[in-house]
């Protein structure tokens, strides 16, 4: 096609300025179309969204807080895959959380100190995943197909199957699944993965917050249980009601446990193995979940071999026939780890077109080795295996006595502590360069990084110019990247460097703006991260890296954003020394050496979102001509009576006080060319 630039790839758009406006801004020559908004109906029987807090039946509407997302091509006229189809496909996306203030007429209510069932059901069903059919019309415009039989909502109430080493484990037995093989639903689904056999993985991130646990519960549990609960943040130190207090609902169906299961207190008089209550319900969350988007009746599978954590995303290595696939995963909390799962089974290219897709998932995701990363100051790194009975991961472990591999996987944080993995500045998305195989990881920020515990991979400690204690540490975040030794996904060691440090362009170049960012590319708190598809005609030359932000330290100057980059390769920067300032900002206190580069002209701002949003979730059609992006929680600080954003109504210039809605947009180039290049 004559409109495609093949080589060398260069960024071909004018940088979008930082902005506080209530619109999605993109470069000249591009068009934004709003595609799929909170509340949009996904079948013919469900009415249009009133957007005034009176709507219900979210099991048949778009959920809230759109997040990670992938596009799956559909064969024309059929419901089967055509990975190359750029005109008709399934868009699968996560609905991470809710802006409850906008879901009800006057916000969340309590009646006799309990949540009304209808409100709680609405909030529960606004979480989960959407599968929707999208099509490109004759004139090039995109829309979703409201009455497609392929449309599906997966919610925290959808039955799921447990696979891998935890299947049948005593750790996940509940009143609902007394044999520990099934569970209900998925929650706080953050980033995602697109599997080479045409399935979607959704990742459970901040699940711990939803559970009620009272101060009396510690005494009813073993010391080992309490160690595990505390390590995942399910402590009882506050009045722990659980997010949204769902467990307080009195259901109209008195036999229903859809609400009581959010209360994980050990219930007196129930079986010690947990089959009479929901004491183990929290162990049912924190997993990577695989979904076959082409089969609306398929039961999603929780892939326990990949470990239990605050899973951000799960991105595969570039498939190479005969070589074991790797899957890269961040655990997003302060000072947590980067993980890699390596399948036992080498990749067979024929599996890319297999029809029993979840069985192929069984083959690659149920058995293998989970590793945790240690980044060394030399620029080398090691993948430490999380295998039961190796390196002290056994019953005599001083941190936590591991009983078996299921216990290691359900408590990988404790295993990682024991192995001396590197505590990172909040590991968010992973992305893999399809041309080089190099893996990139966003480290979004870390307000608890101290001067004393900076290391080569997490080297910054400074005061944000705002000067609040909460902004100390590494408030602007960075992106680290690694290249596996021998360029193989099976490697147990790697080289790494830092690709870019987030910073305002006006900040100190010796300890904050270390990458020399300017007004066209300054950013803070990188989070979403994705390389353009290699099916994009320029993909083989120099794939485009897309960076999305979720920021609280730069929002005085700009709303959150998305940037495009042509990032180069590991080690193409120079070794440099960073001078970290003391907590009091009075002088130099520590120095650490890192390898980094100044991205300069290869990094450019492509999009700025509306007020109080996060930009998260991105994919394109296989031809790279339509880019799908999610706008999460615009106006998240407002209320139904006083919204702080009117997006997406405001995108068309409409004024007024319309309640804001999370939504998917599609970005196309007016000349029909490749987005970004």
Q: Answer with the entry of Ca ion, ligand FEO, none that 205 interacts with (C-beta below 5 to 8 A by kind).
A: ligand FEO
Q: Answer with the entry of ligand FEO, Ca ion, none that 623 interacts with (C-beta below 5 to 8 A by kind).
A: none
Which part of the chain contacts Ca ion (CB under 5 A), choosing from 136-144, 341-349, 496-504, 547-555?
547-555
Q: Which of 637, 634, 644, 643 is nearest to 613 (CA)?
A: 634
* Residue closer to Ca ion, measured from CB, 309 or 406: 309
Q: Answer with the entry of ligand FEO, Ca ion, none that 612 interacts with (C-beta below 5 to 8 A by kind).
A: none
3-state secondary structure 277-321: CCCCHHHHCCCEEEECCCCCCCCCEEEHHHCCCCECCCEECCCCC
**Scanning residues 400 to 459, which ones bind Ca ion (CB under 5 A)?**
428, 444
End-to-end Cα separation, the chain, in angstroms = 14
Kindly state the smallest distance separating residue 527's Cβ from ligand FEO, in Å. Answer: 6
Q: How far apart are CA 478 and CA 467, in angstroms?
A: 20
Q: How far apart are CA 490 and CA 313, in angstroms?
A: 20
- Based on the shown chain and the rule CB under 6 A, indicate whether residue 428 belongs to the binding site for ligand FEO: yes
* Residue closer to Ca ion, measured from CB, 497 or 527: 527
- Based on the shown chain and the rule CB under 5 A, indicate whether residue 204 belongs to the binding site for Ca ion: no
Kindly state the smallest distance separating residue 431's Cβ from Ca ion, in Å. Answer: 13
Q: For 128, list phi and psi in degrees, rounded to 5.
A: 115, -135
Q: Answer with the entry of Ca ion, ligand FEO, none that 119 interacts with (C-beta below 5 to 8 A by kind).
A: none
* Residue closer to ligand FEO, measured from CB, 22 or 551: 551
- Based on the shown chain and the rule CB under 6 A, indicate whether residue 190 belongs to the binding site for ligand FEO: yes
Instruction: Map tokens 């941190």 to a residue.
Output: 399
Q: How far apart are CA 109 and CA 249, in angstroms?
A: 12
- Based on the shown chain and the rule CB under 6 A, indicate whether residue 119 belongs to the binding site for ligand FEO: no
Q: Which residue is nearest to Ca ion (CB)?
A: 550
Instruction: Map tokens 């041309």 to a residue.
Output: 435
Is the previous residue joined to 231 through a cis bond, with omega within 30 degrees of 0? no
Instruction: Assign 60 to helix, strand or coil.
Output: helix
H-assigned helices in 168-254: 223-231
**The sheet that has 626-632: what strands, in order across it?**
30-37, 663-669, 626-632, 614-620
How many angstroms from the chain centroid is the CA of residue 459?
24
Kindly state the smallest distance separating residue 444's Cβ from ligand FEO, in Å. Answer: 7
Q: How far apart are CA 605 and CA 624, in angstroms?
A: 18
Kindly state the smallest distance separating residue 126's Cβ from ligand FEO, in Å. Answer: 15
Q: Which of 671, 669, 340 is nearest to 490 (CA)?
A: 340
**Scanning residues 331 to 360, which ones bind ligand FEO (CB under 6 A)?**
332
Q: How far apart are CA 256 and CA 404, in angstroms?
A: 33
* Residue closer to Ca ion, measured from CB, 475 or 673: 475
Q: How far apart are CA 33 and CA 542, in angstroms?
A: 27
Kindly state the smallest distance separating residue 614's Cβ from Ca ion, in Å. Answer: 4
Kindly state the smallest distance separating residue 628's Cβ from Ca ion, in Å. Answer: 17
Q: Answer with the entry of Ca ion, ligand FEO, none that 22 interacts with (C-beta below 5 to 8 A by kind).
A: none
Question: How far is the CA of 534 from the CAs of 47, 539, 541, 577, in angstroms?
Answer: 39, 4, 9, 36
DSSP codes of every residue in 422-439: PPEE-EEEEEE-TTT--E
Q: Answer with the entry of Ca ion, ligand FEO, none that 204 interacts with (C-beta below 5 to 8 A by kind).
A: none
Q: Answer with the entry of Ca ion, ligand FEO, none that 614 interacts with (C-beta below 5 to 8 A by kind).
A: Ca ion
Number of residues that bind ligand FEO (CB under 6 A): 7
Number of residues that bind Ca ion (CB under 5 A): 5
x/- track of binding to ligand FEO for residues 148-187 (CB under 6 A):
----------------------------------------
* Residue closer to ligand FEO, measured from CB, 602 or 632: 632
Kindly state the smallest distance separating residue 407's Cβ from Ca ion, in Å. Answer: 28
**Scanning residues 594 to 623, which ones bind Ca ion (CB under 5 A)?**
614
Q: How far apart are CA 632 and CA 228, in angstroms?
A: 31
Which part of the chain contacts Ca ion (CB under 5 A), choosing from 47-55, 272-280, 542-550, 602-610?
542-550
Chosen residue from 55, 366, 438, 550 binding Ca ion by CB under 5 A: 550
C-beta of residue 628 within 8 angstroms of C-beta of residue 653: no
Q: How far apart are CA 218 and CA 451, in angstroms?
A: 34
Q: How far apart are CA 292 and CA 202, in angstroms?
A: 11
Chosen residue from 40, 55, 64, 96 binding ligand FEO by CB under 6 A: 96
How many angstroms from the chain centroid is the CA of residue 110?
31
* Residue closer to Ca ion, measured from CB, 416 or 427: 427
Enumerate residues 6+ apart whose C-beta is below 8 A from 278. Answer: 174, 175, 176, 257, 260, 261, 262, 263, 264
Chosen residue from 22, 40, 205, 281 binding ligand FEO by CB under 6 A: 205
Kindly state the smallest distance separating residue 312's Cβ from Ca ion, in Å. Answer: 6
**Scanning residues 445 to 504, which ones bind ligand FEO (CB under 6 A)?**
none
Q: For 644, list phi and psi in degrees, rounded to 5.
A: -100, 5
* Residue closer to Ca ion, measured from CB, 154 or 613: 613
Q: For 228, list phi and psi in degrees, rounded to 5.
A: -65, -50
How many angstroms from the chain centroid is the CA of residue 45?
32
* Residue closer to ligand FEO, measured from CB, 119 or 428: 428
Q: Answer with the entry of ligand FEO, Ca ion, none that 425 interacts with (C-beta below 5 to 8 A by kind).
A: none
Name the DSSP class of 49. Answer: P
Q: Answer with the entry of Ca ion, ligand FEO, none that 619 interacts with (C-beta below 5 to 8 A by kind).
A: none
* Residue closer to ligand FEO, measured from CB, 73 or 473: 473
**Scanning residues 497 to 536, which ones bind ligand FEO (CB under 6 A)?**
527
Kindly state the smallest distance separating residue 396's Cβ from Ca ion, in Å. Answer: 37
- Based on the shown chain and the rule CB under 6 A, indicate whether residue 312 belongs to the binding site for ligand FEO: yes
User: What sign results for the dihedral spanned by CA atoms 215, 217, 219, 222?
Assistant: negative
Kindly state the smallest distance separating residue 278's Cβ from ligand FEO, in Å. Answer: 24
**Scanning residues 313 to 332, which ones bind ligand FEO (CB under 6 A)?**
332
Chosen residue from 119, 133, 425, 527 binding Ca ion by CB under 5 A: 527
* Residue closer to ligand FEO, measured from CB, 290 or 527: 527
Which residues in this chain contact Ca ion in the complex, by CB under 5 A? Answer: 428, 444, 527, 550, 614
Site for ligand FEO, rule CB under 6 A:
96, 190, 205, 312, 332, 428, 527
């Amino acid at each position: 096609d004559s409109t495609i630039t093949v080589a060398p790839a260069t960024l071909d758009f004018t940088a979008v300025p930082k902005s506080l406006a209530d619109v999605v801004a993109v470069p000249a020559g591009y068009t934004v179309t709003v595609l799929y908004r909170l509340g949009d109906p996904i079948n013919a029987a469900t009415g249009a969204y009133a957007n005034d807090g009176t709507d219900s039946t979210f099991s048949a509407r778009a959920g809230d807080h759109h997040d990670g997302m992938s596009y799956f091509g559909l064969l024309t006229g059929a419901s089967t895959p055509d990975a190359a189809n750029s005109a008709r496909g399934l868009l699968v996306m996560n609905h991470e959380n809710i802006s409850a203030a906008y879901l009800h007429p006057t916000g969340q209510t309590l009646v006799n100190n309990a949540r009304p069932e209808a409100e709680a059901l609405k909030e529960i069903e606004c979480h989960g995943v959407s599968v929707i059919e999208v099509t490109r019309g004759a004139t090039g415009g995109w829309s979703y197909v409201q009455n497609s039989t392929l449309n599906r909502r997966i919610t925290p109430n959808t039955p799921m199957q447990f696979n891998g080493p935890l299947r049948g484990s005593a750790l996940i037995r509940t009143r609902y699944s007394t044999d520990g093989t099934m569970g209900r639903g998925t929650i706080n689904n953050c980033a995602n993965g697109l599997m080479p056999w045409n399935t979607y993985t959704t990742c459970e991130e901040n699940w711990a917050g939803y559970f009620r646990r009272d101060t009396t519960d510690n005494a009813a549990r073993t010391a080992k249980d309490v160690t595990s609960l505390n390590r995942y943040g399910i402590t009882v130190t506050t009045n722990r009601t659980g997010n949204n207090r769902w467990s307080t609902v009195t259901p109209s169906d008195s036999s229903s446990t859809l609400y009581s299961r959010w209360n994980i207190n050990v219930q007196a008089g129930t079986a010690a193995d947990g089959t009479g209550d929901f004491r183990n319900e929290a162990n049912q969350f924190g997993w990577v979940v695989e979904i076959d988007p082409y089969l609306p009746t398929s039961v999603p599978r929780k892939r326990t071999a990949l470990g239990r954590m605050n899973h951000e995303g799960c991105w595969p290595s570039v498939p190479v026939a005969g070589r074991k696939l790797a899957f890269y995963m961040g655990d997003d909390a302060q000072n947590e780890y980067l993980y890699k799962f390596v399948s036992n089974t080498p990749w067979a290219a024929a599996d890319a077109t297999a029809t029993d897709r979840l069985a192929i998932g069984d083959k690659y995701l149920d058995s293998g080795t989970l590793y945790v990363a240690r980044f060394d100051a030399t620029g080398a790194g090691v993948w430490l295996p999380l295998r039961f009975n190796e390196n002290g991961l056994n019953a005599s472990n001083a941190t936590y006595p591991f009983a078996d591999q299921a216990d290691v996987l359900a408590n990988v944080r404790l295993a990682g502590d024991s192995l001396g993995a590197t505590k990172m500045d909040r590991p968010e998305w992973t992305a893999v360069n399809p041309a080089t195989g190099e893996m990139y990881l966003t480290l979004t920020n870390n307000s608890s990084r101290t001067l004393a515990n900076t290391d080569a991979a997490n080297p910054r400690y400074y005061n944000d110019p705002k000067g609040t204690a909460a902004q100390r540490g590494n408030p602007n975040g960075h992106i680290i990247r690694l290249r596996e030794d021998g360029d193989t996904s099976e490697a147990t060691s790697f080289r790494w460097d830092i690709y870019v440090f987030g910073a305002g362009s006006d900040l100190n170049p010796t300890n904050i703006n270390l990458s020399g960012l300017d007004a066209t590319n300054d950013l803070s708190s990188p989070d979403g991260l994705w390389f353009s598809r290699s099916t994009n005609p320029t993909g083989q030359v120099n794939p485009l890296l897309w960076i999305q932000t979720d920021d609280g330290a730069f929002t005085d100057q700009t709303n959150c954003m998305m940037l495009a980059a042509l990032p180069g390769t590991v080690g193409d920067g120079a070794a440099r020394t960073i001078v970290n300032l003391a907590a009091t900002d009075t002088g130099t206190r520590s120095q650490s050496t890192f390898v980094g580069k100044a991205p300069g002209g290869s990094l450019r701002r492509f999009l700025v979102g509306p007020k109080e949003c996060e930009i998260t979730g991105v994919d394109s059609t296989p031809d790279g001509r339509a880019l799908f992006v999610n706008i999460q929680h615009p106006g998240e600080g407002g209320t139904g009576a006083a919204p702080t954003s009117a997006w997406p109504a405001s995108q068309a210039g409409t004024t007024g006080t319309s309640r804001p809605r999370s939504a998917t947009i599609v970005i196309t180039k007016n000349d029909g060319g490749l987005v970004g290049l």
